[in-house]
Amino acid sequence: MDMEQVNAMDFGDFVDVFGNVIERCPLVAAAVWSQRPFADPGDLEARFCAFLDALPQEGQEGILRCHPDLAGRELQRGTLTAESQREQRAAGLQGLAAAERDHLAMLNAQYRARFGFPFVLAARLRDPASVARELERRLHCPPAQELRTALGEVKTIGRLRLADLLGTEPARL
């Protein structure tokens, strides 16, 4: 899909196509639509990122809370969004042994209790062992740092999803 097509989309089509660039947050796509026209894919990505950056801390935390736990119940039940399912599958999280799944569930619960939102990571760039290592490492980060890190991961996920939708290479990974 080229930028001419993107810029020509009406509101409903734009939100249908780009509504899950930021996990379960079609309102972000709705806000970005109003900023048309977009010069290029990088400009579109920058608008999504600028929206996230402009949110107050409570809004940013709300964005994070829209994300599922990695290798969590939603994966087991098959209730993830199509994008999250592909990303977790690419990371090898669907085929975990019970002990690995239990370990990640314990770490996810500790993380959520500490920070108030789920652990967010661009999973498709990782494998199960690196997901667990990163979760263990980030559990010890100061809350303000972890909020910035988690939002950076949301932006990376969004960048990858935009590249998928536009048929382009993701920028700045």
Instruction: Provide the annotated active-site residues.
Output: 67
Q: Which of 134, 21, 15 is nearest to 81 (CA)?
A: 21
Query: What 3 state SS string does 135-162 have?
Result: HHHHCCCCHHHHHHHHHHHHHHHHHHHH
Residue 93: DSSP 8-state? -
Query: Do 66 and 48 touch, CB atoms closer than 8 A?
Result: no
**Residue with the two structure tokens 């199509």:** 82
Three-state DSSP state, 86: helix
